[in-house]
Chains A and B, each alone.
Chain A
Amino acid sequence: MHASVCDLITDLVQNAIEAHAEEIMLNVEETEKNIKVVIQDNGKGMSAETLEKAKNPFWSDGKHRHRKVGLGLPFLFQTVDMTDGSAEIQSEEGVGTTVTFNLDPQHVDLPMFGNFVSTAVSLMTYEFDGNLTVQHSRNSRSYSVSKNDLTDALGNLNNLENMVLLKQFIQSNEEELR
């Protein structure tokens, strides 16, 4: 199990990046009773058969030679199983993949939520060609920002100063959700 829900989110969004998606949508909706996360991408997708295999921790898609394990999705199912949550993956080859999961924030076995600011900064500055939109809502407040908008406002996101500004930006938006 990942140490925080944010770690789990990072891992799953990276799957979308590695699937060569052009558009990735990360939507996190938090209420007192539920945390709902949707990660939607238009990457290469998986066949039903591949998806079944991907749920097995002792299978990997072959991006690392000789490696027999792949823990991204299994960590999701482990977390969901241990905390009475739910998860669903819809995928179609050539169309994309949507991962949806719901977690009970009050469940005693749920890992802490984690730091969403560093999660968003890390995902926004991960170098890939596509666009990523992050939407975060808590109770009735929300914000949304896309990588294209940020690149447009700042330029190169991997430059240190821009990263610091980006972090301030995300932080200020996160503070509004409290």
Chain B
Amino acid sequence: MGAAGGGGPVAPARAVGATRAWARLLGSEMSLTFRRPRNLAMLVVLALVPVLVGIALRTFGGPDEGGGPAIFAQVTGNGLFLTFAALSLLVQLLLPVSVAVVAGESIAGETGAGTLRYLLVAPAGRTRLLAVKYANVVVFCLASVTVVALSALLAGLALFPAGPITLLSGGTVPLSEGVLRIGLVVLYVAAGMAALAAVSMALSTLTEVAIGAIAGTVGLVIVAQLLGTLPQLSALQPYLLTHWWNGFDGVLRDPMATDEMGQGLLAFAAYVVIFGSIAWARFTSRDITG
């Protein structure tokens, strides 16, 4: 690495400069991510699904007693439940796929296009570059989950009556607290997606073809979900990332059951630590030829 970084910070203001450089790098990554038509299209699709579900429920009514998940029956009574229904639906595949696309692309895409070499010439250092890229993906995770929740919230309020929320335990909380609890769900699901992003990013450092990392991640998600449905392998379930994504129903209980969500967050953290370190070891040690 030479002194190629022309406008780099000077020694006295090093700490401030480093933060600023970090922020600038993240900013440029984010503007790349959120200006990419493909990513925007994914966000639009994510926003459309809750609206479609809402319209379908409005047109055809909720599922009859005993048919379909009970949560969909709740939606017709209270629009706020559309957020929970939409999130529990999309967290199965559509959200993971869109996160996998962005995260799997992050390193392998640059390698494949031959642009990674130029990024590495800047005096940023590979560790920092990796951290920035991961931070960028985490922002995308939060954004996509928020898009789903917001669109479901607006669609639910527009299509169905709204009011105090009936919790699973039979208690009732005011609308404002319901919205607050939705906020907790958004954060929880985003954390689950961030854990998947770490896996996807590790795969992304192992290949030079972005589609390989993306397909690998989606494949892992499907395999994990398959393993999770086999009752014979129930002992394996707590170790599967997918097992925890849906575990946010604790916010709808009274008193709020935080134990399962707490365990879920620990599982997410474990995935981030393991796969983040794999990505780091691979990314900082390999030869960049692309």
A binds B: no
Question: Residues of A at under 8 Å CB distance from B?
Answer: none
Question: Residues of B at under 8 Å CB distance from A?
Answer: none
